Every structure is written in C-alpha cells, then in structure tokens.
Amino acid sequence: MKDNPIFKLFTSLWLTVALLSLSLVIIFLGTLAQEPMGLNIAVERFFKSWFVDQVAMEAAIKKSAELFGSGVSPVTSEQILGESGLPVFPGGYLVGTLLLMNLLVAYYQRFEWSTKKAGVYVSHLGIITLLVGQIITDILQEESFVHLERGDRRNYSVSFDDNALVFMLPVAGGSNRVVSIPEKMLTVGRKITHPELNGLTLEVEKYWVNAKPMTADQMVKLDGEEQAQYQKEMVDQVFEVMNSRINGMEDHLRENPDAEQRSTLTRLKGRFFEMRSGKVELRVLADMLGLVGEMEMDLYGLKEDSERLVFNSQAVRNLLIKVKAYEDQRTMGSLFSQATKGQLEGCTLSEFENNATDFMTKIKDFPGGAGSNILRNSQKFIERIKGRAKLYYAGTDQGQLGQFFRFIQPLQPAFDQNDRNLPAALLKVTNEKGKSGKYLFTCSSDYQQTVKLDGEGSERWKAIFRPKRHYIGFDLTLVDLKSETYPGTDIDRNFQSRVIVEDGEGSRSVDIYMNNPLRQGGHVFYQSGMNEDRSGTAVQTVLQVVKNPNWITAYIGCVIVTVGLLYQFLYHLVGFARKRKKEARA
C-alpha cells in the first residue's frame, strides 16, 4: 500500500506546502471579500465551504483589483444574494481536510515510536483534536441574542440573521399550536404546506430581502425626501458654477486692475459666501447666477468675450431649467399633500389614483393660479408619483398589516455584521375550500395579524414574521442593568446586568458583565451591549448567547498540546543537564 501513487501523494511534503499556500490565498481573498459581501457571508463562502463559488471569487478579485487602482465595478447585492455559480477554488473545509489527511497519512508512513520525539507526537495529536473540534463546532454551534428591559422575562433567544414566518392557533389549555416556516423557504412561486396547518396552502408571490412597509402618505413623503436630496445636489452644482466664475473674474482683475470692478466683485463674493453658509432657495441662487452673468458682462464686455458669459454655457442653462422644474415639483408636492390630507393612510392603489385625478381637477382652487404651466407641471408630478405607487404597491387584499401598509419600498440588502435585514413577503393563503387571500408579512413590525378566510366559525390563525427563536429551557428575568463610562468621556467602561435565573431546581440571582458570563443549561450568556434612550440612559441590555455542545474539545486540544510541549522541553532539559553533569565529572 505504501508504494501506491495516491498514498505517496498524500505523504508528500510538496502537498503540504501547496495546501498551506492555498490556505494563505483563501485567507487573503476571504478577507478582501468581507467588504462587499459582509463578514458572515464571506466566512460562509470562503472558510466554511468545500469550494469557493464563482460570485464570491469575483467579489474578492474585483476588490483586490480596486486596491491596486483598477476601476472595475464591484459585484452587486443581487449577484451576492443570487445564484452562487460554479465552484472555482478550493474552500476552507476542503483544504483543512486535505491537510489533516496529509498529516495522518504521513504519520502512518513514517511513524516510529521514540521517547525523544514523544512530545512532538502528543502536540500533533492536540493540533488534530483542535482541527476536528473546530469543524464540529462550526456545524453544531448556535449564536443568538436576548434583548431585555427591566422586568422582562424570556425563555428564548433570537437569531440575528435568520427569520421565520410563524403561524399560531390557540388550543385548549391556553397554549398555541405553532408552525414555524424558515425564511429560506420563502422563494417566489413556491407553495408551502404543512400537516399542522389544517389544509392551508401558502404561495409566495413576492419576497423582499430588505424592505420598508409604507402607507401612501409615507410614500408621498419619501418622494419629498428624494426631492430634497435633489435640491441639495442642485445647490452644490450652482455653487460650483458660481465659484468657478468668480475665481475666473478674480484672476482677470489681478491682471487688469480696476478699482470699481474690484469693489463690485468684492460685494458679489461677500454675498456668495453669506449664501453658502446658510440654507438658500434654488431661485435665490438662480438670481445670484444672474448677478454673476451681469458682472461678467460688465467685466469682459459682451462683444469682446461673449463665450465667457455664464448664461452662454449650455450646462448652466440646463441647470436653470432644472431649478425651475424642481420648484414646480416641490410646489405640486405641497399642494397634493394639502388636497389629499387624511385620505392617503391605508388607501388602495385605485384609491390613490382617484385622489391624484381629483387633485388635478381641484388645483385651480389653490393659491398661485391655474395657468397652463401649473397644470402641466402638476400633471408631470402626478405621473411620477403614480408611477412610484405602481412600483411600490404590495398587492394585498387581506390582513391588518396589508390594509394599512399598502406599499413596500425595497431597500439595499445589509451586509455589515452590525446591521440586519428586515425582509417582507406577500403570500397567497388558500384553505381547503379554495378560498384565498393575499397577506403581507414583514419583520419591520412585531404585530400579530389574524389569518381568517371563512365565516365566524372558521379557525383564526395568528401569524407573524419574526427573528428565529431558540428556546433555552429556563426563564431569565432582568432585574437591573448598569452602564458606566470613563469620567469625562463617552467611552464605555462597564456594562452589567443582574438577572434572575429560574429553572426546575429553583431560582438564583446572577450578575453578568465583562469576563463574567452566565453558564446555564449548555448556554453561555455574554454581556454584549446596552441600548439607550434619547437621554443616554441605558434601558435595554443585549446578551449574546452561545450554545456549543463541543466546547470542551478546544480545552482538551490545548491541554494535549501543552502536555506535549512540556514533555519535549523537559526531556531535552533533563538530557542537557545530565550531559553537563557527565562532562563536569570527566
């Protein structure tokens, strides 16, 4: 067997060097990929996988190219969350497994017992224990969180990344029949059934990885916020144009001194800086551009150098057109909000369009006149806002959430480990009689809505989209919490929570703080942080919960490595001492 080519390959030192080199490459690429993909996804795709997929490798390579000044476009969130593509590079699990096999086969090939090397053998055994233990830990370990305010009592922790759609039906005895559907099952077009749902069929019609539910009124306000951002960008552009023109005139007067023109330019610059320091309307800035143009005409002369004139620039003319268009859009938005006040909360798409049409007929009643320009610009505003309404319309016809939040704003997925996505889903729920309704579920709200498709005698399910729960087997009650900072600073010094632990053996009080976690029932509770109110007072504690059935393996591995190293050190130390003693006698 030892002459087998495959056996020789696995005992080769070249294989060891190649695998260690691959490990360095994986660490390098996986670290780079954390920026576009987020820590958790990068770890899963590079280190906790057998192969690195095509999208993950592309993200790492493009980030690497960016570091060297290349202008490549990064991978998008849709690519990261979409199909992973083909496996293109060895992953952490594969390289780690091959290294372990290389070590074991090499020992089988070359192992000869020797007291001189016993410590090395034992140390290697400890390293193997640590490697195997880490793989088992990756598979079995669960991390979650508990959020508690004073007086809160919990017998579960919640996941930071994973969510579940939960259906609950009250049964005799005050308990609930609970059916939990993992978020990963909510793919568009999928039909979900479960024996405990009593004939209900759930069909996923829409799914948003991260989304914000909105009423029609909130959607109109969102348009106003985007217009405000548009105004800021316009203001910056106008200031940039004015600054460039004023600097040009400054250079001209430096070469062609003129006291009167210098005085005029000084007044112009004074007003420019005054306006820049405050909030200025776009029309005021347009007037300022007019003053800059007049100053240029006076300074350069219309006939001598007409191409210098600010209004002779096509870009500036387009800018002024946009300024006027923005002012009209903002006016229309304000008038629309006034006309539909109290009519937008929870309205359907057709009701929203009716409100918009009704606004067009009433626009003449508002101050500012009903000229053709007003009507034309209001029509543009209505078309834009109606287009946004159709884009964001959720499509619900049942359920309390869907009746109130008629619209959904898709958000960019969050990849930072400190940010969490708040998904939403539109589900068509059908009972065994064929009656159906469309319900909206979202993690942005902790409201339990009723799912009921028949008359008064039918079952009333409660449903909620919430973070996945991990039940811990005992009760935890927060009694007090304390947050301290270093004197004279905002730097955190100490977080501490006092909790009551209640299990089958009774209750006890425990303080949880830095380096003093609570260990109970196979769970370890670490003090993770505090959430504060507006006054800066800590009102909610955040405990990180780790469940690791394999926790003892790491300690065993470290002890074995330590014993091996101590043996090896003492063996050589004793041998050296004996040698010196013999030399001294001689």
Q: Is the pLDDT of residue 286 over 80?
A: no
Q: Is the pLDDT of residue 305 over 70?
A: no
Confidence of residue 472 (pLDDT cuts 50, 70, 90): very high
Tell me what the mean pLDDT of segment 541-548 comes to: 93
Segment among 229-238, 258-267, 443-452, 503-512 with least mean pLDDT? 229-238
- pLDDT, greater one: 544 or 365: 544
The distance of Cα 416 from the centroid of its chain, to the nearest Å, equals 5
Q: Which of 372, 388, 410 is the last residue of a domain?
A: 410
Interval 415-432: pLDDT, tens: 877 788 899 999 999 988
Q: Is the pLDDT of residue 367 over 60?
A: no
Q: So what's the pLDDT on residue 234?
A: 79
- 582 in the same domain as 483: no
- pLDDT, greater one: 423 or 2: 423
Q: So what's the pLDDT on residue 524?
A: 94
- What percent of the chain is predicted at pLDDT more than 70? 92
- For residues 40 and 31, give the distance between their C-alpha atoms in angstroms, rounded to a whole number: 11
CB-CB contact of 109 with 11 (8 Å): yes
Question: Residue 523 corresponds to which tokens in the numbers above?
Answer: 């769970």
CB-CB contact of 149 with 155 (8 Å): no
Q: Which of 382, 410, 438 is the last residue of a domain?
A: 410
- 423 in the same domain as 500: yes
Segment among 82-86, 226-230, 323-327, 561-565 with least mean pLDDT? 323-327
Segment among 49-53, 130-134, 464-468 with least mean pLDDT? 130-134
Confidence of residue 413 (pLDDT cuts 50, 70, 90): confident
Q: So what's the pLDDT on residue 3?
A: 67
Confidence of residue 380 (pLDDT cuts 50, 70, 90): confident
- For residues 86 and 50, give the distance between their C-alpha atoms in angstroms, rounded to a whole number: 12
- For residues 117 and 507, give the distance between their C-alpha atoms in angstroms, rounded to a whole number: 52
Q: So what's the pLDDT on residue 294?
A: 78
Q: Is the pLDDT of residue 466 over 80?
A: yes
Q: Which range in 319-328, 494-503, 526-535 is most confidently predicted, on average pLDDT?
A: 494-503
Q: Which of 365, 386, 410 is the last residue of a domain?
A: 410
Helix (H, G, I), strand (E, B) or coil at 305: coil
Interval 531-541: pLDDT, tens: 888 777 888 99
Interval 316-335: pLDDT, tens: 777 777 776 666 666 777 77
- For residues 438 and 393, give the distance between their C-alpha atoms in angstroms, rounded to a whole number: 13
| Alpha carbon separation from 7 to 2, 104, 286, 461 (Å, rounded) | 6, 11, 81, 61
- For residues 362 and 370, give the distance between their C-alpha atoms in angstroms, rounded to a whole number: 9
- 252 in the same domain as 398: yes
Q: What is the DSSP string of 545-577?
A: EEE-TTHHHHHHHHHHHHHHHHHHHHHHHHHHH
- 567 in the same domain as 534: no
Helix (H, G, I), strand (E, B) or coil at 543: strand
Tell me what the mean pLDDT of segment 27-51 comes to: 89
- 565 in the same domain as 499: no
| Alpha carbon separation from 500 to 143, 154, 158 (Å, rounded) | 21, 11, 19
Looking at the domain assignment, is residue 574 inside a domain?
yes
Tell me what the mean pLDDT of segment 155-183 comes to: 88
- 284 in the same domain as 403: yes
Domain of residue 202: give its range.
Answer: 142-210+412-547
Segment among 234-243, 426-435, 509-518 with least mean pLDDT? 234-243
Tell me what the mean pLDDT of segment 298-317 comes to: 66
- 203 in the same domain as 107: no
Q: Is the pLDDT of residue 156 over 90?
A: yes
Q: So what's the pLDDT on residue 586?
A: 65
- 221 in the same domain as 201: no
The distance of Cα 15 from the centroid of its chain, to the nearest Å, equals 40
Residue 210, C-beta contacts closer than 8 angstroms, at least 6 positions apart: 410, 411, 412, 413, 414, 421, 422, 423
Q: Is the pLDDT of residue 198 over 80?
A: yes
Q: Is the pLDDT of residue 33 over 70?
A: yes
Looking at the domain assignment, is residue 30 inside a domain?
yes
- 362 in the same domain as 244: yes
CB-CB contact of 461 with 168 (8 Å): yes
Q: So what's the pLDDT on residue 458?
A: 62
| Alpha carbon separation from 411 to 163, 275, 389, 420 (Å, rounded) | 17, 35, 16, 12
- 220 in the same domain as 319: yes
Tell me what the mean pLDDT of segment 386-403 comes to: 88
Tell me what the mean pLDDT of segment 372-388 comes to: 74
Q: So what's the pLDDT on residue 311?
A: 67
Tell me what the mean pLDDT of segment 428-439 comes to: 89
Looking at the domain assignment, is residue 136 inside a domain?
no
Q: Is the pLDDT of residue 342 over 90?
A: no
Question: Residue 310 corresponds to which tokens in the numbers above?
Answer: 């600010």
What per-residue string of b and e applies to 549-558 under the rule 16 or more CB within 10 Å gives b? ebbebeeebe
- 364 in the same domain as 223: yes
Interval 107-131: pLDDT, tens: 777 777 788 888 888 998 898 898 8
Looking at the domain assignment, is residue 481 inside a domain?
yes
Q: Is the pLDDT of residue 303 over 70?
A: no
- For residues 404 and 424, give the distance between their C-alpha atoms in angstroms, rounded to a whole number: 15
- 386 in the same domain as 436: no
User: How does DSSP classify residue 116?
Assistant: T
Interval 572-582: pLDDT, tens: 888 888 888 88
- For residues 297 and 304, give the distance between their C-alpha atoms in angstroms, rounded to a whole number: 10
- What percent of the chain is predicted at pLDDT more than 90? 30
Segment among 235-239, 401-405, 509-513 with least mean pLDDT? 235-239
- pLDDT, greater one: 408 or 104: 408
Structural domain tally of the chain? 4
Q: Is the pLDDT of residue 301 over 70?
A: no
Looking at the domain assignment, is residue 96 inside a domain?
yes
Looking at the domain assignment, is residue 135 inside a domain?
no
